[in-house]
Amino acid sequence: MKRLTLDILLGNLLVFGFTALVLLISGAPVLAAFKHIWLGSFANTAKFSQVLSVWVPLTLCSCGLLYTFRVNLWNIGIEGQVTMGAIGAMAALRIPGIESPALILTLAFLGSMFSGGVWGLLAGLLKTRGGVHEIFGGLGLNFVAQGFILWLIFGPWKRPGIASMSGTELLPRKLWLATPPGWRVATAGMVIAVAVLVLTWLLIEKSNLGLRLKAIGQNPKAALLYAIAPERYYLQSIIIAGACAGLAGFLQVTAVYHCLIPPISSGYGYLALLLVMLSGYRIILIPFLALFFASLNVGAIQLPIVLQLDSALSGVIQGCCVLSALFIIGIRQKRKNS
């Protein structure tokens, strides 16, 4: 436990170190840059609520990934699962003849979980039945999901008289999830994220399911001897992950964009992969690291505005975070092999 904590601390120190190095190379004042990232995230209620609007889908995706990482599955397809969740939600929101907003939103909520879960199931079946590694299967399904959403936006769901990359027509106001005055994050989104976080902790740390997933992740062959079928739990974990990602897609549609756009996932699935790895797969750290990456995502927008730095710098900083995570993973793997 102490060694894992040290690894996590080292990983986060490397993140700050690499970030400072990139800023120095770009000729930016390091302290001023960190200051503006902080102010861009926490200077007022509106900016902090923007951070929370990123925190919610990041937390949901990270919770889903904890299940698949528990059985040593690399669910790269979570990005596509967010996209399919958004599509499932929008399909429900477009059902004609239903007057009750609460009923439509409930159907969208369930539709997003179903769509994301089914997309996860496809990746699981490719692995368990087709022998396709989950990384390649997930990446392939991500491309299919992206192609599908583009077809919908430029085809059946296009705006009347025009097909635009800006997305489908805006939803009616009654189908927008409510936000507190002056805030940019839906109250329902926060409640969903916290509920999923607590439920994930209970299932992974306190339930028989979590114990079985851990047993399979540590030694699938030994688990099989105790009548724990690895394939069954591979599918269960990736379906749950897909459902969590689908909820993120639901909130992107109903609480953030209020329509369907091509980059509806905003890269949160890939970012959640990094976040979970940096956490050492410990759920207690997920909300805090999600807040850190959300604030970096939102606050870095200030750098080109205030310091006249290139707008791609925030992407470079996140890339440095990836390198830090890979470095720590390499250290752990080398230690494990020795």
Confidence of residue 220 (pLDDT cuts 50, 70, 90): confident
Q: How many domains does the chain have?
A: 1
Gap between the Cα atoms of 239 and 124, Å rounded = 8
Express each pLDDT in 58-92 by its tens digit.
Answer: 999 999 999 999 999 999 999 999 999 999 999 99
- Residue 204 lies inside a defined structural domain of this protein: yes
Alpha helices by DSSP H, listed for 71-207, are 78-93, 101-128, 134-154, 187-206
- Rounded Cα gap, residues 169 and 161, in angstroms: 11
pLDDT band at 8 (very low <50, low <70, confident <90, very high): low
- For residue range 280-330, what is the model confidence (pLDDT) as tens digits? 888 998 999 899 889 888 887 777 777 777 666 767 777 776 677 677 767
Q: Let me know if residue 235 belongs to a domain.
A: yes
Query: What is the C-alpha to C-alpha distance for residues 277 and 14, in angstroms, rounded to an integer?
Result: 14
In a domain, 147, yes or no: yes
Q: Is residue 6 part of a domain?
A: no
Higher pLDDT, residue 130 or 162: 130
Position 2 pLDDT exceeds 70 = no
pTM of the model: 0.90
Q: Decide if 31 is inside a domain.
A: no
Q: Is residue 212 part of a domain?
A: yes
- Within a domain: 89: yes
**Is residue 262 situated within a structural domain?**
yes
Segments forming the whole domain that contains residue 105: 48-279
